[in-house]
């Protein structure tokens, strides 16, 4: 059996809005045998809800990243790679 691959989600919010509820739903339903889930976000309602789901939470104060590709590159350490799970690849559903 292959070890679960780490999958990191990043969110700037402390409160629970629509996007955060969608993220929590995704985190709840991702296949834990395939993915080791991590969330980097400020401390608050989102981090607490993710921890309740068993997600590894990494407290990180973040500014709102509104359409800033450069800010995302800095957050990722300047690397050009990205990882995503897509419906139908066995990771979601």
Domain contains 55? yes
Domain contains 7? no
Domain contains 35? yes
Coil, strand, or helix at residue 69?
helix
Domain count, the chain: 1
User: If we measure between CA atoms, which residue out of 24, 28, 4 comes closest to residue 93?
Assistant: 28
Phi and psi based region of residue 77 (left: phi greater than 0; alpha: psi -120 to 50; beta: remaining): left
Domain contains 83? no
Domain contains 1? no
Digit-coded pLDDT (tens) for 35-69: 999 999 999 999 999 999 999 999 988 776 565 56
Domain contains 30? yes
| pLDDT at position 15 | 85
Residue 21 DSSP symbol: H
Q: Are 14 and 45 in contact (CB under 8 A)?
A: yes
Domain contains 36? yes
| pLDDT at position 76 | 65
State the residue range of the domain holding 58: 15-75
Domain contains 5? no
């Amino acid at each position: 059996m292959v070890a679960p691959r780490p999958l990191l989600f990043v969110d700037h919010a402390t409160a629970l809005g629509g996007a955060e509820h969608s993220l929590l739903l995704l985190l709840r339903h991702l296949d834990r045998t395939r993915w080791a889930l991590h969330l980097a976000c400020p401390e608050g309602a989102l981090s607490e809800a993710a921890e309740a789901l068993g997600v590894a939470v990494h407290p990180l104060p973040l500014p709102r990243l509104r359409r800033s590709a450069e800010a995302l590159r800095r957050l990722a350490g300047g690397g050009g790679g990205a990882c995503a799970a897509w419906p139908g690849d066995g990771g979601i559903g």
